[in-house]
Structure 1
């Protein structure tokens, strides 16, 4: 399909077409795989009339089918994901309605046998895939193998969320469900024990084809491994699951170095932020001197900002709209310099409210906060996470020891001794933050 990107430029985009005003994916199935799909073409609505949105949706779908084709060629037992999922639903219906399979499929079995040289032998011995659609043949196989009584991938996820200590937390559930949905979209909702190594490898290939960096792919694999480890253990599946110890080609080689602003950049930015009253600017200003994760600031309650103490500080703790990344993330952090001034602004603007920043006091509000702050910082060539790296560097240059740096930024410390007692005091942390402050 030709896409006009400007009055002077037109691009040809493969696998994109339109039905009426709605964009569609349109791909020709490789000749050697037509029998597994039961069709020569794949058409799938992108459910949008917007050209830009259609192009964004197209890339991961194309990557999905290309990776699936690689897998189907590598593993003769595999079937397309969509057919696998449809087959399970059909098998359930057939199992619930006695005689339905014979009513639907017997006429086709008989007709196919009668066209052969030996009708009786063909009737009794022909593979159902010869006269049924791929999803129908797979449904019959599931019933014959008794596979409906075995745990499927969707069952493994349900078990994991039921048994995991964070399984009831919305953000945790959504994160795991998002990664698991990717897996089922790739290989279908199949029995756990049917999951194969070729499927695991082609899943990684698909993620890489969509443009994900290897660090993001590894994050997805960690989530999938966690679910499978529990499922294979609890369901007593007597084999190693195929995602175990899976390698990612070129892992880490595509990582971009963290963007750490210079002191000159920070001073220029601080001067600009000090004059602004927007929520986004105030969040950035608080982060500049304290170096937290953005969710730790955007999700604060007003009561978490303690300004009337001898040492003004933030209390970073879980609340109803956001959790913390780790147990060591719960802490108190002194406010100094620009961050202290910004905290006063934030409390004043919040008034009698509960949330310090009401706009972001919701599930996944930190994602919106991150996008807004990063947009503000884009002219400086940095992101909100740059403040975290910058403070660590400034503290290190000031001579601050690792354990105090970890206490300030909420990193887990490797020393068991550091977990005893009350930890480092606000006074100690403030001394180092004053030495490292920008303003």
Structure 2
């Protein structure tokens, strides 16, 4: 093989395609060069030349796109190579758990350290064992939010989890010579502990209720807040609803909180039916009228970070003071407190909120609380929310 060919170099008996990104495009491309490992060295020269030609064409198109202001898709070289060898697609890029095995092997470990294993398990529990090239930065941001809001982890713990999985990816990207960026790198984690989410006070609820009567209450953020105010669901459980998850033709209109193509759930136990009461029915009808495709709300509402930002902005616009303890998640605590004060049975509260049963005794008996009992608890609780009777002052 003539190693003087353009964009071809050899290292430790393996051949690589490597092409520098024109300096004027590096900021837009996000890298200074494109590199990809070619087929095994045992392949004949004709195969390597064919791979080299395909990757050269791919980078030619990428440079032309950069000249028009369009950045190439992440992993475009890998996609071009797999197009030549589709039989290798499944094994071309390892999963995160396989990346962890590579990391452990490189460090001479038989098993991962406990904190590293916990980081791996918690990401897989949230999103599944994805291939490294399938993990998007938005997915990582959602995971970070989930660790803080749902698992109650502080910033220092989250940083350790993030550092562990980032190390797995770095190891496998270097070992496999992948032309992808590490999706776990360069994320900002909020300093300080995750604050307790307070229920809204009487005055704060009055401000929100008044804001919902304006034209803003009939837009996306307002519709989602109307769902949250009446159901106590988690923000992403509502923002990621599919149209098929809304059942308005039932005797008791309700939504089906379940995993779908737009978001997962905190735990399998979070899957549940939730009745729609009062204004939530109207909000559901309006959302269905405006839905484009299978998702009830736009894609910007399918990511925890972006959804929280837009809902919190709406809450501040209503006049609620900017405090870490008062966020869109506070609707969940408000509904829980309202049900408690209205005398709803504990098992009904737990069913509405999607909390897991905590004792062996609780796990026996009926698996599903009837919709009518949940409707009654929410309806009575909503009367408290509507009239601002949850709590008179912040906790």
Q: TM-score, normalised by structure 1?
A: 0.46
- Relative to structure 1, the CA distance from residue 254 to residue 429 in structure 2 (aligned partners, 3 Å threshold; closer, same or farther) is same
Kindly state the Cα deviation for residue 308 of structure 1 after the two structures are TM-superposed: 1.3
Kindly state the Cα deviation for residue 295 of structure 1 after the two structures are TM-superposed: 0.7
The question of whether the paired residues in 1 share the 8 Å contact of 2:204 and 2:320 is answered with: yes
Kindly state the Cα deviation for residue 174 of structure 1 after the two structures are TM-superposed: 5.7
Kindly state the Cα deviation for residue 170 of structure 1 after the two structures are TM-superposed: 8.7
Structure 2 residue aligned with 1:215: 154
For the pair 1:312 / 2:253, whether they are aligned, the reply is yes
The question of whether the paired residues in 1 share the 8 Å contact of 2:236 and 2:301 is answered with: no
Structure 2 residue aligned with 1:86: none
Q: Deviations over 1:196-243 (max 9, x none)?
A: xxxxxxxxxxxxxxxxx9722234446778999xxxxxxxxxxxxxxx
**Larger Rg, first or second structure (1 or 2):** 1
Structure with greater proportional helix content: 1
Unaligned runs of 5+ residues in structure 1 are 1-46, 49-147, 183-212, 229-251
Cα distance in 1, alignment partners of residues 359 and 204 from structure 2: 35
Unaligned runs of 5+ residues in structure 2 are 1-25, 28-102, 145-151, 168-190, 387-395
Cα distance in 2, alignment partners of residues 216 and 341 from structure 1: 39
Structure 1 residue aligned with 2:294: 354
- Relative to structure 1, the CA distance from residue 336 to residue 164 in structure 2 (aligned partners, 3 Å threshold; closer, same or farther) is closer
Kindly state the Cα deviation for residue 285 of structure 1 after the two structures are TM-superposed: 1.2
Structure 1 residue aligned with 2:355: 411
The number of equivalent residue pairs is 236
- Relative to structure 1, the CA distance from residue 225 to residue 327 in structure 2 (aligned partners, 3 Å threshold; closer, same or farther) is farther
Cα distance in 2, alignment partners of residues 389 and 274 from structure 1: 22
Structure 1 segment 101-250 matched on structure 2, within 5 A: 150-152=105-107, 160=120, 166-168=128-130, 215-221=154-160
Cα distance in 1, alignment partners of residues 133 and 282 from structure 2: 31
The question of whether the paired residues in 2 share the 8 Å contact of 1:258 and 1:389 is answered with: yes
Cα distance in 1, alignment partners of residues 204 and 135 from structure 2: 39
Q: TM-score, normalised by structure 2?
A: 0.51
CA RMSD across the alignment: 4.2
Kindly state the Cα deviation for residue 173 of structure 1 after the two structures are TM-superposed: 5.4
Structure 2 residue aligned with 1:125: none
Structure 1 segment 13-412 matched on structure 2, within 5 A: 150-152=105-107, 160=120, 166-168=128-130, 215-221=154-160, 256-275=195-214, 276-350=217-291, 353-360=293-300, 365-378=303-316, 379-381=319-321, 382-412=326-356
Cα distance in 2, alignment partners of residues 354 and 285 from structure 1: 21
Cα distance in 1, alignment partners of residues 133 and 230 from structure 2: 28
Q: RCO greater where, 1 or 2, for CA within 8 Å and sep 6 or more? A: 2
Kindly state the Cα deviation for residue 258 of structure 1 after the two structures are TM-superposed: 2.4
The question of whether the paired residues in 1 share the 8 Å contact of 2:312 and 2:328 is answered with: yes
